[in-house]
């Protein structure tokens, strides 16, 4: 999944604003930082070794985000619940962006679940429209290779059999 940065200048911008050093394995999915009236709020979704984490931080006019990189382990289901039932995103604070990321995570989770449950035979798993530098890709082989391919498909915005 290609990272989306709004109000941050990439990974380095996150590290600068939060005065932290990101782990090499931290894969940023979404990082939003909105400021106004001398206040700011940030929301970050990232993965590390397949686990999803969030950072939700805000500040008043006296300080910035320094020292507020307090991440929490979460799940796709928890993010969906927050979007559908919570109040955190009232006022539309990054809700459309979070919705897109959650949909892609759900699609990837569901495709992996289909593979694990045997509903999709890894030998018959194709991605006939994914174009990368090498051209069209046919995916077959070990389950690990197929799971990695599912991530590539999700990152490309595609799902099984599209």
Task: Spell out the domain ranges in the chain.
Answer: 4-106, 120-162
Between helix 95-116 and helix 143-155 the angle, nearest 10°, is 160
Quickly state the pLDDT bin for 156 (edges 50, 70, 90): low
> Per-residue pLDDT for 66 more than 50?
yes
- What confidence tens digit (pLDDT) does each residue in 95-122 have? 889 999 999 899 888 777 666 665 555 5
Mean local confidence (pLDDT), 73-93: 85
Mean of the per-residue pLDDT values of the chain: 78
The string of DSSP letters for 28-60 reads: EEEEEEEEETTEEEEEEEEEETTEEEEEEEEE-
Mean local confidence (pLDDT), 58-69: 89
Mean local confidence (pLDDT), 83-90: 82
């Amino acid at each position: 999944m290609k990272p989306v940065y709004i109000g941050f200048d990439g990974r380095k911008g996150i590290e600068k604003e939060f005065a932290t050093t990101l782990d090499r394995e931290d894969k940023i999915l979404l990082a939003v930082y909105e400021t106004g009236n001398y206040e700011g709020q940030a929301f970050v979704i990232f993965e590390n070794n397949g686990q999803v984490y969030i950072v939700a931080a805000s500040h008043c006019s006296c300080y910035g985000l320094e020292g507020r990189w307090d991440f929490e382990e979460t799940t796709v289901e928890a993010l969906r619940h927050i979007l559908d039932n919570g109040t955190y995103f009232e006022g539309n604070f990054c809700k459309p962006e979070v919705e897109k990321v959650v949909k892609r995570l759900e699609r990837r989770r569901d495709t992996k679940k289909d593979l694990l449950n045997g509903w999709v035979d890894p030998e018959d798993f194709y991605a006939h429209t994914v174009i990368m530098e090498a051209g069209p890709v046919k995916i077959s082989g070990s389950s690990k290779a197929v799971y990695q391919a599912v991530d590539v498909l999700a990152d490309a915005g595609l799902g099984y059999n599209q």
